[in-house]
Homo-oligomer: A and B are copies of this chain.
Amino acid sequence: MLSPVSEPALRERRRRQTEREIADAALDLFERQGVDRTTVDDIARAAGISPRTFFRYFATKEAAALVPHVALDERVERMLAEIGPGRPLLDQLEEVWREVLTAFDDGRSEAGRLMLRVRRLMLAEPALRQAAATLDARRLDDLVARVTSALGLDDDLGPRLAIEASGLAVRVALDRWADAREAGRASDLLETYAGASRHLRTLGG
């Protein structure tokens, strides 16, 4: 059949399970020996699959550790559907980001703890930062186009700068948050983000 009416439950469940196992193994190995010293074979072995199968789940070894990062992007993408004209774009974007970041509950929720691990790793691993940037870039053009049309504009310059700039604030906030936690200092994610946003708005002095 070309389009199965219902998703077969078992396959779907197993697929998710395997993906999770790979992601766990990758994150764990990256934390313990670093990205460079970890081979795809290592990850595959730890996850109990063949190297070939690894690449059927993730395009690169870095992507395996960035599942939480992608999940965040996807959540933002879904919420972006609600954006429209009437209110300043930056306000709306920041509202979306605040809502998404709130779900991390400052590292107390499961998702939050996971993101903290990933961001800590990213601080020390340029390869991961780069991979994350690549993943983000692929979504960005789509996002910009969608927002531009939702606002009824024909020039995407404004939306592009607003979206990239607000994304920049989030990235910086996540970095500082992870860095502070790594050093044992107290740090509130939403507060950090608010500070970054404020700086962005007052760039002009």
Chain A residues within 8 Å of B, Cβ to Cβ: 88, 90-91, 126, 129-130, 133-134, 137-138, 157-158, 160-162, 164-165, 168-169, 172, 176, 195-196, 199-201, 203-205
Contact = CB atoms under 8 A, between A and B. Distances in A.
Contacts of A134: 126, 130
**Majority-rule SS of A interface residues:** helix
Nearest to A161: B199
A57 to B, nearest CB: 21
A49 to B, nearest CB: 28
Nearest to A160: B172
Contact of A157 (B138, B161, B172): B172
25 contacts: A88-B204, A90-B204, A90-B205, A126-B134, A130-B130, A130-B134, A130-B137, A157-B172, A157-B176, A157-B195, A158-B199, A161-B168, A161-B169, A161-B196, A161-B199, A161-B200, A161-B203, A162-B203, A164-B168, A164-B172, A168-B168, A200-B203, A201-B203, A201-B204, A203-B203
